Structure 1
Amino acid sequence: MSRPSSPEGLATSSCPTADQVSAGNTVWVDIRALLPNTKEDLKLDFSEKVEESVISLLQQARDLLYGAESLCSGSARETCLQVSEIIIDYSWEKLNIGTWRDVEKDWRRVYSYGCLFKALCMCSEQGTIADIIRVCDMGLLMGASILDNILVRIINVLQKHLTYGKRCAEEDAKESQRKKIRNDHTTVPSIKSEAVIPRLHCPSLEHFRENYMIPQKPVILEGIVDHWPCMKKWSLDYLRQIAGCRTVPVEVGSRYTDEEWSQTLMMVNDFIDQYIVNKNSIGYLAQHQLFDQVIGRKYIHLYSPQESENLYPHETQFLHNTSQVDVEDPNLVKFPKFERAAFQACILTPGQVLFIPVKYWHYVRSLDVSFSVSFWWL
């Protein structure tokens, strides 16, 4: 697995304006205040599993940070940046050898320290806030908590100083056209009355538990999330504004079973621009789920666990909870029993919450650009 490219090489045209950070300005002063007062207070305690040469590099970066010239000196800053990159590259290899659960926590901490030192070097020069946030996010995603979660606290400071400029009119026009094309080609399926999922307005917890959760019956709950701020605030522009330059893990592809399906780390802005897709495979979870629709509409099929045989699950352990059937265009020659699979369906609209019982198979297709929030519990 290769390490994501350095932020210096990323395009930031769709990010908030790339504010500059320089030594002596308010941002650097605020971030410097988060660090321990002395280098002795910035302890680098690691087990013997971390080589002495790596600990020496960490100490070198720390000493440059707290040295007499500090990072105001161009040469000290450049050396610290080079050392930080070496620490990041070496620890990245350690993070990607074998399975994630077997990675030593100390190596994750080493990676976080490398990201911290690099971010501080970038803060002390003319780095952009968006790029520094990306470095800190990589430390949060792939590393481990250090110095009382200092990477989170640095990001909080940076975001307070980040100004949000409007994207150019050409970009806005392109996005509006993409939405129009997507929605114009969307057909709204008809649902037979006997297959409609029942609706319930603001039930008591006792009524919901006794009549739906315990007997494991799907139901659409209405009126229970109307008070959520996101019901009025969320939009693509809003998400760009609050999180556009944050790096997040993303599943790319329309179905888990597609060969091109993958997982990656990318900025929210890039995901919105490139990968607003419909995940329309059918599968189940080993947990109860509340599927809350916030923006747009989704077309949903639910199949009870008793229909599993008719849904032709994959035989591999990894995909045993995923069907081989294309629900809206099934190959009935290959999957003849699917034709008799009973299901319930709905078109979920903003403000509605669908209760999906444990192990219920569910198929979801977006009818518009849409956002949902899911809660799972056992």
Structure 2
Amino acid sequence: MEGLNLEQIPRVKKITKEAFLKDYYAKQRPVVIENLIEDWPAYQKWNLDYIDSIAGDKTVPLYDDRPISSEKKFNEPHHKMKMGDYIELLKSKPTNYRIFLYNLLKEVPQLQADFKYPKLGMRFLKGLPFLFFGGRGSKVFMHFDIDYANILHFHFHGEKQCILYPPSETPFLYKVPHALIAHQEIDFSNPDFEKWPALQKAKGLVTHLKHGETLYMPEGYWHHMTYLTPGFSMSIRSVPKSIYNLAKATYNVFVLRHFDNFMRKQKGDKWIAYKNDRAIKRTHQKTKL
């Protein structure tokens, strides 16, 4: 992270619906709300031991930090494991295995009684509360979400670092064409500016989320997560407020990911190599480097 142009994400203890809509949602600015969920049962109950006690027998999909290849489809997991065994792994040592976009609340309905949708003026997609787990040191590569959702991201058990970039900084982030990610060889914790010089021009934001804190991520924001300790988070989503972003989300869901899977099947790793090469060349051309 040293050398990146990052400011701290603004923080508030509490916030009214009117202030949130006016100061952050309308302006599409991130914010950390420290005490939004203190009245949730989850605030007291949710930790790794509790999840193990009620969902330890569930088989969960796992992802690691290997580069994207033609062997896997879009969001296809790398491994599967019982939740109880995975939590034991998290507690015993660092691991790159993460749970990503997993609807555990559908698998274990009793968890749904532990939270409620905040009254902040956003219309949430009620069927999509996803959970994310990671071990100490595991990282979520720099990306933006396929649906351009406005996201409330609630963190539990431990601490994680969150780096965000607004969509305006896309020209400097080595975006891979026909994908939603930055070039995966970039180490955002220790970037090589000789190899990735455009990164020095990108202006982003950073914070460390602790148990019970909530991060608001506006639509289309790039994000990179590092688990500083074992822990997990839950995200709830609201559709894009921008018609333009809603159109891009529709394209991503119904066209882009299917086209990319098709090309991986047809061209294999040559397709991946082509996209990675184009990410570098296009970024340097656009930024005159």
TM class by shorter-chain length? 0.5 to 0.7
Distance 2:46 2:194 in 1: 44
Counterpart among 280, 297, 311 of residue 140 in structure 2: 280
The alpha-carbon deviation at position 229 of structure 1 amounts to: 1.6
**DSSP 3-state at the match of 2:203:** coil
- What residue ranges of structure 2 are gaps of 5+ in the alignment? 90-96, 98-133, 240-289
Distance 1:326 1:192 in 2: 11
Counterpart among 205, 212, 216 of residue 355 in structure 1: 216
Show the counterpart of 2:180: 321
TM-score, scaled to structure 2: 0.58
Show the counterpart of 2:233: 372
When residues 260 and 196 of structure 1 are mapped into structure 2, their CA distance, relative to the original with a 3 A threshold, is farther
Show the counterpart of 1:257: 68
How is 1:1-378 mapped onto 2 (pairs within 5 angstroms)? 195-248=7-60, 250-254=61-65, 257=68, 263=77, 264-274=79-89, 275=97, 276-277=134-135, 278-285=138-145, 286-315=148-177, 317=178, 320-324=179-183, 325-378=186-239
User: Which residue identity lines up with residue 329 of structure 1 in the other structure?
Assistant: N
> Is the contact made by 1:311 and 1:323 (CA closer than 8 Å) also made in structure 2?
yes
**DSSP 3-state at the match of 1:207:** helix
Which deviations, in whole Å up to 9, do the C-alpha atoms of 1:46-67 show, x marking residues without a partner? xxxxxxxxxxxxxxxxxxxxxx
When residues 240 and 322 of structure 1 are mapped into structure 2, their CA distance, relative to the original with a 3 A threshold, is same
- What residue ranges of structure 1 are gaps of 5+ in the alignment? 1-188
When residues 349 and 212 of structure 1 are mapped into structure 2, their CA distance, relative to the original with a 3 A threshold, is same
TM-score, scaled to structure 1: 0.45
Structure ranking higher in helix proportion: 1
Which deviations, in whole Å up to 9, do the C-alpha atoms of 1:11-66 show, x marking residues without a partner? xxxxxxxxxxxxxxxxxxxxxxxxxxxxxxxxxxxxxxxxxxxxxxxxxxxxxxxx
The alpha-carbon deviation at position 295 of structure 1 amounts to: 1.2
The alpha-carbon deviation at position 219 of structure 1 amounts to: 0.5
User: Which residue identity lines up with residue 280 of structure 1 in the other structure?
Assistant: V
Matched residues, number: 186
> Is the contact made by 1:295 and 1:370 (CA closer than 8 Å) also made in structure 2?
yes
Deviates further, 208-217 or 259-268: 259-268
RMSD over equivalenced CA pairs, Å: 2.6
The alpha-carbon deviation at position 266 of structure 1 amounts to: 3.3
> Is the contact made by 1:221 and 1:352 (CA closer than 8 Å) also made in structure 2?
yes
User: Which residue identity lines up with residue 367 of structure 1 in the other structure?
Assistant: L
Which deviations, in whole Å up to 9, do the C-alpha atoms of 1:78-98 show, x marking residues without a partner? xxxxxxxxxxxxxxxxxxxxx
- Work out which of the two has the higher radius of gyration on C-alpha atoms and give 1 or 2: 1
When residues 344 and 260 of structure 1 are mapped into structure 2, their CA distance, relative to the original with a 3 A threshold, is farther
> Is the contact made by 2:5 and 2:200 (CA closer than 8 Å) also made in structure 1?
no
